[in-house]
Amino acid sequence: MDPAQKAKRKARFKRFGYFFSGLLIVLHAYERYEYGHATWSLFAAAGILFLLVAAFHTQLVRKWPWFDGTFFAIEAALSLTVMGEFILAGKKGLPFMYLLAALFQVFAAVMAVRKGGRAAGH
């Protein structure tokens, strides 16, 4: 596979990842709304934002190479929000899994920003 095809395929996978994440976040927002949690609007806005990013990912990354890292950081914030909700609900073990996910997302954000900065020649 030549490098151009490889780059297109990688961009398609990233776009799919944002679309899938956006869909899951919107579904989570609906679930939060159904159960009367106050954070449903935060998840709805983030889900819509992720769906928009999926639609315009190539153009956005071309303009801002650090863009992917920003969205990993947003995902980490959402994971921490869910963790807080579970703690308030009295859950014991599940919040730690969301904390672990948030830590991995922060790591991915740092790595993506570093990679984006190098790609931009910074």
The pLDDT-based confidence of 118 (bands split at 50, 70, 90) is low
Cα distances from 96 to residues 83, 87, 101, 103, in angstroms, run 7, 9, 9, 10
- Residue 35 is classified by DSSP as T
Same domain, 81 and 38: no
Average pLDDT over residues 91-101: 90
C-alpha–C-alpha distance, residues 99 and 91, integer Å:
13
**Is the torsion defined by CA of 39, 87, 72, 22 positive or negative?**
negative
Last residue of a domain, one of 33, 62, 91: 62
Q: Are residues 69 and 100 in the same domain?
A: yes
- 53/70 same-domain check: no
Residue 113 has pLDDT above 70, yes or no: yes
Cα(64)–Cα(77) distance, integer angstroms: 21
Rounded to two decimals, the pTM is: 0.74
Final residue before a domain boundary, out of 42, 62, 82: 62
- Does the pLDDT at position 122 exceed 60? no
Residue 119: exposure state from Cβ atoms within 10 A (0-12, 13-18, ≥19)? exposed
Instruction: For residue range 19-59, list pLDDT tens digits in order.
Output: 888 888 898 889 889 988 888 998 899 889 888 888 888 88
State whether 2 and 57 are in the same domain: yes
Number of domains in the chain: 2
Domain that holds residue 11: 1-62
Looking at residue 117, what is its pLDDT?
58
